Structure 1
Amino acid sequence: MKRHGKILLLLLVVVLIAALFLSPLREWLTLARLKESRETIQAAIAAQPLAAAAAFLLLYIVVTALSLPGAAILTLAAGALFGLWEGLLLASFASTIGASLAFLGARYLLRDWVAARFGARLGAIDEGIARDGIFYLLTLRLNPAIPFFLINLGMGMTRMRLVTFWVVSQIGMLAGTFVFVNAGTQIGRIESTSDILSGGLLGAFVLLSLFPLLAKFVVGMLRRRRIYKGWHKPKRFDRNLIVIGAGAGGLVTSLIGATVRAKVTLIEAGEMGGDCLNTGCVPSKALIASAKAAKSARDGSAYGIVTSGVRVDFRAVIERVHEAIRIIAPADSVERYTGLGVDVRKGRARIVDPWTVEIDGGERLTSRSIVIAAGGRPFVPDLPGLATSGYLTSDTMWEALRGRDHVPGRVVILGGGPIGTELAQAFVRLGSRVTQIDHGDRLLSKEDPEVSALIAARLRGEGVDIRTGCTALRVEDGMLVVACGGVEERVPFDELIVAVGRRARLRGYGLEELGIDVEARSIVDPWLETRFPNIYAVGDVTGTLQFTHLAAHHAWYAAVNALFGSVRRFKVDISVLPWVTYTDPEVAHVGHNEQSAREAGVAHEVHRYDLSHLDRAVAEGAREGFVKLLVQPGKDRILGATIVGASAGEILAEIVLAMRHGLGLNKILSTIHAYPTMAEANKYAAGEWKKTHKPEWALALAERWHRWRRG
């Protein structure tokens, strides 16, 4: 229905334009004809002033709404025929009404088409309009060198509110309209419209158009003066950039700074590489790999391999974890980053004022900008008896388990998120008896329910005792006491692993003394600035999702904004953010899933392809899982994807690339995928979408064609 409405409106516009061009009215929209007929028209206006004003207003609105040439002549005519003030009133309101109609028409006819093809770019423009749209529009309206009809059509592509467009246009076009209407009162002296806008006057308008930007700059300067009131800014700085924390976010930030030849100091109190290298991503994935190998060895008969007596050397498993850390560590080392031009300092950093960082309570360095990349830490609930229970976290378990000959017999994992679920599967595969406890009604609560159910079924099938809807009460006598359905249960353990989430590591860096609220949900704005525009934060400390790749992504924005923000700064874009849970099968996710799309009220279609039909999955014995795509209704634009299966994180990469660069499912369908690969699943999922959108009318015509060809 909407499509038919657009076609009808487009036909109406075409008819109106054709009628105006074919009618005698076209000849009247010239300066010469206006000068010749001025007295005759003024006599008609004097006879019926209200009707004449209404007719003029309507004509002006139509010409402006259809973006036809002639608006300048009509503005002159307003002054020539109605005088300065009445002409100004008519031309000003008519031009704004017409511009608003052009704005609405462009939005109705073109925005969906533009969004389908340039969704990511249009989204970034919309964010800029939401933030500074008034300044942008006012700047454009005050500059007569920019055709007004282009402004009307261009703004129609954005999500600017109509009332904002109307008011700003009314104000912004007033000066230019006044000049033309006033010139119209002296029309006898004008030979062409170029006589009105002399070089000097045009230059004055261009300078006037810069006023909104200048006003914005002044407002920003006053805001900064208010923020920094009471602090003494150094006249000279030791560094361009100081980065606190050498995890993924800090390393990438300092590397970018050094690459563009800034003087950068990186300060780290612990191990280089941060949590990901030393206690998070690397050790956990090494453990998962060993656990998967143990499972494959036991399941050899499924592949025609006879196996017996599989034994896990737990000491060797943990040593392999530390070996993986040792191999990767040189890439994050002090020596490497020093060689790349970064001044690396080992010590505890504390910010003593907005430009000064103190190291270990001694040396102080000043810097124009500071980036906080201190990472996160496991959240430990305040449970009676927990502190003395010898519990482990993802930070402490790797050293605590080192040197043990045998896998822990009974492992209780508190938490049903990605970390807890990965560890539960890894330990049960290594031979532990695992109980996983979570207060929610299902594991992996951010994923769709069917994903949670599939992973839970796999873990239960491997021997994990999953207890959801249970609340931990206390730890006593080597047991975790929980309440499940109102009934207390005692769960014995040899090792208790707490994996209920992570928190930003913000305390102890002087932020509280600076007035930065470390308890806030987020301490940064969309440019990663804290309340002080020269102090930035990246990664876990921002209070957003805690992923290593997000911290590295943040780093580019923080480094560029910190070093070049006075020229241009960039708002963080995480609209296409992938994440992977490394269970077996893996769970990979980008954009919306069904759950988040419903919560956000995003219209979507769901198209699914099961891996049980994929040749490579059959050959590998990895048929469990699926590719599920969320697609904009009636379009091929991907809104999100969830992939469950072997190598799901690798398969997802193609979808992430397509979403980031606005490539639709038709592009994926037309791409040759090597056979047999798991990545073919993306093409087949796109094929499922295509089946539901096949052009039945074209196929019916094709059938008739083939019938005719057969004779």
Structure 2
Amino acid sequence: MRSVVGLIAVVAAASLYVYSLSLYLPPAPRRPRPPADAEHADTAEPPQPPDSTGETSRYTEATTRNTCYRLKFPSDLEELRELAELLQFYKTEHTGYVLLLFCSAYLYKQSFAIPGSSFLNILAGAIFGPYQGLLLACVLTTVGSTMCYILSQVFGKRYIVNLFPHKVSMLQRKVEENQDCLFFFLLFLRFFPMTPNWFLNMSAPIVNIPITYFFCSVFIGLLPYNFICVQTGVMLSEVSSLDDLFSWERLLQLLAIACVALLPGALIRRFSRRRLKLDGQSQNGLITDKKVQ
């Protein structure tokens, strides 16, 4: 009972923090104003900024969203695009706030195993670009998964075993069978998720996976997945029409992304056939034996 109360307190405190951070937005970035002409300094009408650059419309849109738009986790691509445009505009003068908000939201989702981190990976590419976005996605995925590991270790061991007894026992047996190459076994599970990542994060301390192995395997194993999501976000932020999406440049870029993402998985699969003990098949998101007892 004490563990349940502690977990509820942690979730409530984290939820209140993220909600407060998203609710109290800083002022919208200021609209750039051209220098006033000395001859017209005393005239009744102040000089108006040119509309050719689109700054006036962007400023008006962002100011309107600042007053009526409440930040929330995106649930589809349209909401993702709107949120990316808003945060990109805020990033011009409030980089620290946007970075803090994004990191807090990402860690919140990962720590409590809430689905939807792929949207945040795409958002990272749209806001921060291909290199900073990828670094952020990898670091936040690793830190958030490790926080989920710690929360499960402190609060949830007994409940996870009671809720998923068969899955935990099967994962425990596979971990014991691959103790001599445990790190590569964990990499295999990340590249080819026979068990969902959220379940692996929560059950890792129960099946005695060292936190150092867990930390490194998450960072390396989810790198291809994060890379694909971030690059998708970069392309979404740059593409304005379907013609841009299906151009030769974009198609070659997609091909290069696929090759880079598939290469580590191919190497791990080749190694697993020689070293790992994977005499099972995937069924309902978990490794099961081919033989029926």
> TM-score normalized by structure 1?
0.26
**Residue in structure 1 matched with residue 176 of structure 2 by the alignment:** 127
**Residue in structure 1 matched with residue 2 of structure 2 by the alignment:** 4
167, 179, 188: which one aligns with 2:216: 167
Alignment of 1:416-431 (within 5 A): none
**Residue in structure 1 matched with residue 229 of structure 2 by the alignment:** 180
> Do the aligned partners of residues 159 and 81 (structure 1) sit closer, same or farther apart at CA in structure 2, a change above 3 Å counting?
same
- 2:143 partner SS: helix
90, 99, 103: which one aligns with 1:57: 103
Letter in 1 for 2:182: G
> Do the aligned partners of residues 155 and 205 (structure 1) sit closer, same or farther apart at CA in structure 2, a change above 3 Å counting?
farther
Alignment of 1:664-703 (within 5 A): none
* Conservation of the 8 A alpha-carbon contact between 1:142 and 1:206: no
**Residue in structure 2 matched with residue 150 of structure 1 by the alignment:** 199
The farther-off stretch of 143-152 and 85-94 is 143-152
Matched residues in 2 for 1:126 and 1:142: separation?
16
After TM superposition, give the deviation of residue 17 of structure 1 in Å: 6.1
- 2:140 paired with 1:91: no
After TM superposition, give the deviation of residue 125 of structure 1 in Å: 4.5
Matched residues in 1 for 2:128 and 2:185: separation?
33
CA-to-partner distance for each residue in 1:19-60, whole Å, 9 max, x for gaps? Answer: 979x84435454212323434321211213233223211211
**Residue in structure 2 matched with residue 224 of structure 1 by the alignment:** none
- 1:36 partner SS: helix
Letter in 1 for 2:268: P
After TM superposition, give the deviation of residue 124 of structure 1 in Å: 3.4
Alignment of 1:516-555 (within 5 A): none
After TM superposition, give the deviation of residue 83 of structure 1 in Å: 0.8
- 1:109 partner SS: helix
Matched residues in 2 for 1:132 and 1:86: separation?
32
**Residue in structure 1 matched with residue 267 of structure 2 by the alignment:** 211
Letter in 1 for 2:236: I
After TM superposition, give the deviation of residue 141 of structure 1 in Å: 1.6
Matched residues in 2 for 1:156 and 1:129: separation?
16
**Residue in structure 2 matched with residue 31 of structure 1 by the alignment:** 77
After TM superposition, give the deviation of residue 165 of structure 1 in Å: 0.6
Matched residues in 2 for 1:115 and 1:39: separation?
43
Matched residues in 2 for 1:74 and 1:17: separation?
17
Letter in 2 for 1:180: C
Matched residues in 2 for 1:106 and 1:77: separation?
28
- 2:129 paired with 1:80: no
> Do the aligned partners of residues 205 and 85 (structure 1) sit closer, same or farther apart at CA in structure 2, a change above 3 Å counting?
closer
- 2:209 partner SS: coil
Letter in 1 for 2:116: G
CA-to-partner distance for each residue in 1:275-308, whole Å, 9 max, x for gaps? Answer: xxxxxxxxxxxxxxxxxxxxxxxxxxxxxxxxxx
- 2:108 paired with 1:71: no
After TM superposition, give the deviation of residue 149 of structure 1 in Å: 1.9
Matched residues in 1 for 2:258 and 2:9: separation?
37
CA-to-partner distance for each residue in 1:580-613, whole Å, 9 max, x for gaps? Answer: xxxxxxxxxxxxxxxxxxxxxxxxxxxxxxxxxx
* Conservation of the 8 A alpha-carbon contact between 1:28 and 1:34: yes
Alignment of 1:294-373 (within 5 A): none
> Which residues of structure 2 form unaligned runs of 5+?
24-69, 242-250, 281-293
Letter in 2 for 1:214: R
- Identity, % of aligned positions: 20
> Do the aligned partners of residues 146 and 205 (structure 1) sit closer, same or farther apart at CA in structure 2, a change above 3 Å counting?
farther
**Residue in structure 2 matched with residue 488 of structure 1 by the alignment:** none
Letter in 2 for 1:183: T
Alignment of 1:191-590 (within 5 A): 208-209=264-265, 211-217=267-273, 568=279
* Conservation of the 8 A alpha-carbon contact between 1:143 and 1:206: no
After TM superposition, give the deviation of residue 89 of structure 1 in Å: 1.3
34, 41, 59: which one aligns with 2:87: 41
Matched residues in 2 for 1:207 and 1:154: separation?
28
Letter in 2 for 1:186: M
After TM superposition, give the deviation of residue 81 of structure 1 in Å: 0.6
Matched residues in 2 for 1:55 and 1:20: separation?
8
Q: How many residue pairs were aligned? A: 216
> Which residues of structure 1 form unaligned runs of 5+?
221-564, 570-711
Matched residues in 1 for 2:275 and 2:89: separation?
52
Matched residues in 1 for 2:82 and 2:194: separation?
29
**Residue in structure 2 matched with residue 138 of structure 1 by the alignment:** 187
- Point out the structure with the larger helix share: 2
> Do the aligned partners of residues 156 and 29 (structure 1) sit closer, same or farther apart at CA in structure 2, a change above 3 Å counting?
farther
After TM superposition, give the deviation of residue 120 of structure 1 in Å: 7.2
* Conservation of the 8 A alpha-carbon contact between 2:160 and 2:203: no
- 1:110 partner SS: helix
Matched residues in 1 for 2:160 and 2:105: separation?
30
**Residue in structure 2 matched with residue 511 of structure 1 by the alignment:** none
Matched residues in 1 for 2:213 and 2:140: separation?
17
- 2:127 paired with 1:107: no
Matched residues in 2 for 1:25 and 1:102: separation?
24
After TM superposition, give the deviation of residue 168 of structure 1 in Å: 1.2
Matched residues in 1 for 2:138 and 2:187: separation?
15
CA-to-partner distance for each residue in 1:137-188, whole Å, 9 max, x for gaps? Answer: 2112223786432332232432111111111111111111111111111115
> Do the aligned partners of residues 204 and 146 (structure 1) sit closer, same or farther apart at CA in structure 2, a change above 3 Å counting?
farther
Matched residues in 1 for 2:225 and 2:169: separation?
35
Matched residues in 1 for 2:240 and 2:154: separation?
39
* Conservation of the 8 A alpha-carbon contact between 2:181 and 2:275: no
Matched residues in 1 for 2:106 and 2:132: separation?
14
Letter in 2 for 1:79: G
> Do the aligned partners of residues 41 and 20 (structure 1) sit closer, same or farther apart at CA in structure 2, a change above 3 Å counting?
closer
* Conservation of the 8 A alpha-carbon contact between 1:57 and 1:94: yes
> Do the aligned partners of residues 114 and 37 (structure 1) sit closer, same or farther apart at CA in structure 2, a change above 3 Å counting?
closer
* Conservation of the 8 A alpha-carbon contact between 2:228 and 2:261: no
> Do the aligned partners of residues 29 and 57 (structure 1) sit closer, same or farther apart at CA in structure 2, a change above 3 Å counting?
farther
* Conservation of the 8 A alpha-carbon contact between 2:124 and 2:230: yes
CA-to-partner distance for each residue in 1:338-359, whole Å, 9 max, x for gaps? Answer: xxxxxxxxxxxxxxxxxxxxxx
> Do the aligned partners of residues 27 and 63 (structure 1) sit closer, same or farther apart at CA in structure 2, a change above 3 Å counting?
closer
> Do the aligned partners of residues 203 and 109 (structure 1) sit closer, same or farther apart at CA in structure 2, a change above 3 Å counting?
farther
> Do the aligned partners of residues 37 and 168 (structure 1) sit closer, same or farther apart at CA in structure 2, a change above 3 Å counting?
closer
> Do the aligned partners of residues 115 and 122 (structure 1) sit closer, same or farther apart at CA in structure 2, a change above 3 Å counting?
farther
> Do the aligned partners of residues 190 and 72 (structure 1) sit closer, same or farther apart at CA in structure 2, a change above 3 Å counting?
farther
Question: Which protein is bigger by CA-based radius of gyration?
Answer: 1
After TM superposition, give the deviation of residue 209 of structure 1 in Å: 3.2
